[in-house]
Structure 1
Amino acid sequence: MSYRTTASGAMTRLMSEMKALRKEKWIHFEDDESANFNILKWRFGLMVINPDSAFNGGYFRAEMVFSDEYPYQPPKFRFLIPITHPNVYPDGQLCISILHTPGEDLMSGEQASERWSPLQGAESVLRSVLLLLDDPEINSPANVDASVLYRDRREDYNKTARETVERSKKDVPPGFEMPVSFEEKPPPKAENDDDFWAESDEEFDFGGSDTGDDDEMEDYEDGEEPSEDDDDNDSNKNSKQ
């Protein structure tokens, strides 16, 4: 079955996706309020805030281009800064399954579940890119030299990554403050209000009976157990009703 969407349909979805992404700390959109802004062509900075990452602290400018057939066809992604990475081509494009057209590819061995589908979106792509930066796929590299460097000389690879991070900081927009962590502040601790019951004039029914059980409870509180005579009296009352 062939799917098609209109340009307006793609734009409507992309506006919604961008609105959600603008709330995230790890992405900063550029020129999204300028007169020349094009919703089908995003330019942004991707930020790596992960102390365990070789690219920690980086601000990597990138662009993503969408067609009128989005989301039935995947977007195109490329970095706008040179990055030495096993899965990044010299022109900044990526070798990553999620950007490949929908359906299984027998030649590459990629399953349909690994490739693009209309159920995914821009955020799925961007999160996959960030994960790929930290966990390269060296068995099918776009940059063979970087793949060998990562595999055999990890310290040199990490040094190159840190140099890339330092270069990337020159692209941080003036006045923009890089996040240092994605941790949210814990919610305020709930305080017990001891005066709640004293101030409330309402009577609450917690499901207990208004008769019979109250007397038994008083017996328990006095250290006495209800007698069998009480049980017989209750049975006689029920039989007469």
Structure 2
Amino acid sequence: MAERILMNEFKQLSKPGEIPWLNVQLGKGDNLFLWDVAIIVLNPTSVYNGGYFKAELKFPSNYPYSPPEFRFLRPLWHPNIYPDGKLCISILHPPGEDEMSGELASERWSPAQRVESVLISILSLLDDAEVSSAANVDAGVMLRKDPEEYKKRVRENVETSKKDIPEDFVMPTSAEIKPPPKDETSDDFWYDSGAESFGGSDDASLEGSDAEMIYDDEDGNVDTEDDDVDDAVSADEDAKRISVTPNRKVLGLNVEDSSRTATPRPT
């Protein structure tokens, strides 16, 4: 099941020009469980503007029940990014509430999430740092006490990141993103991207040979091969799914509509 879900997500996210602020490829050996990604900051007012930040996504074998791991491949100066490139962000924490941190289940990973919502949260985090719970204490202190020096340090990271831009890749400068049309025929939770306003996949369901297989059981009842997923996600949890819509200025995009919002919470 994980392979099928990941293949569908990869196909949608890697369409040329589909998501201007993202470049996605499969990892070494075309490993479907390891993605090479680059997050591109388009916001002209952002200190991270112009950055081509390479990272890797590692998916567990039981995806989407467990979250992927994300790590920037070059050092990036930010209060919520560890020196090894990993992030402290709620959406990548395992499902369920955490009494120690005070995180709600709705702020953390759930099987209803998609790769796109994770990447949007990370892009939003760059310009919306949470210094009170910093993973990089020095960066947090610098942002509070010496913001100009902080900006200087970040600009150095931005210039270094440009060395990773592929020779045949044209860096985007802006984008106009329209929310994808609603799909009235499919309710598969992993195809319903919460990021409706940021240029994700236009199709929320599979068609043709990739469509969900439907069959009759011994009693003649219609069943599907994905009933185990539907049973695992309760109606209550499904209603709490996160639809991450960060500040429009963070993305530097023209967004026509945003009907559901939630703020990604670093921890």
Tell me if both proteins adopt one fold, taking TM over 0.5 as the criterion.
yes
Residue 235 of structure 2 corresponds to none
Residue 157 of structure 2 corresponds to 164
Measured in 2, the distance between the counterparts of 1:74 and 1:153 equals 35
Q: Does 1:39 align with 2:68?
A: no
One of 1, 18, 32 as aligned partner of 2:10: 18
Measured in 1, the distance between the counterparts of 2:37 and 2:105 equals 29
Q: Offset at 1:183?
A: 2.6
Q: Offset at 1:26?
A: 1.0
Measured in 1, the distance between the counterparts of 2:134 and 2:103 equals 15
Q: Offset at 1:18?
A: 1.3
Residue 94 of structure 2 corresponds to 101
CA deviation digits over 1:42-96, x for unaligned, max 9? 0121101101211000000000000111001000000001001000001100000
> Any idea what SS the aligned residue of 1:139 has?
helix
Q: Does 1:111 align with 2:94?
A: no
Which amino acid in structure 2 is aligned with residue 173 of structure 1? Answer: P
Q: Offset at 1:31?
A: 4.9
Which amino acid in structure 2 is aligned with residue 79 of structure 1? Answer: F
Contact 2:79-2:136 at 8 Å conserved across structures: yes
Measured in 2, the distance between the counterparts of 1:44 and 1:106 equals 32
Identical positions, percent = 56
Q: Offset at 1:11?
A: 1.1
- Asked which structure has the greater CA Rg, the reply is 1
> Any idea what SS the aligned residue of 1:30 has?
strand
Measured in 1, the distance between the counterparts of 2:87 and 2:177 equals 31
Measured in 1, the distance between the counterparts of 2:119 and 2:26 equals 18
TM-score normalised per structure 2 = 0.63
> Any idea what SS the aligned residue of 2:176 has?
coil
Which amino acid in structure 1 is aligned with residue 142 of structure 2? Answer: L
Contact 2:26-2:32 at 8 Å conserved across structures: no
> Any idea what SS the aligned residue of 2:4 has?
helix
CA deviation digits over 1:15-60, x for unaligned, max 9? 111122122111112356x7x1111000121101101211000000
Q: Offset at 1:184?
A: 6.2
Which amino acid in structure 1 is aligned with residue 23 of structure 2? Answer: H
Distance 1:42 1:31, change over 3 A: closer
One of 112, 115, 120 as aligned partner of 2:113: 120
Which amino acid in structure 1 is aligned with residue 25 of structure 2? Answer: E
One of 104, 122, 129 as aligned partner of 2:122: 129
For structure 1, list consecutive stretches of 5 or more residues without a partner in the other structure.
1-8, 186-241
More helix per residue: 1
Q: Does 1:30 align with 2:25?
A: yes
Contact 2:60-2:68 at 8 Å conserved across structures: yes
Q: CA RMSD in A?
A: 1.5
Q: Structure 2 matches for 1:47-58, cutoff 5 A? A: 47-58=40-51
One of 150, 153, 177 as aligned partner of 2:170: 177
Q: Give the ranges of 4+ consecutive aligned residues of structure 1 lying more than 6 Å apart after TM superposition.
A: none
Q: Structure 2 matches for 1:213-228, cutoff 5 A? A: none
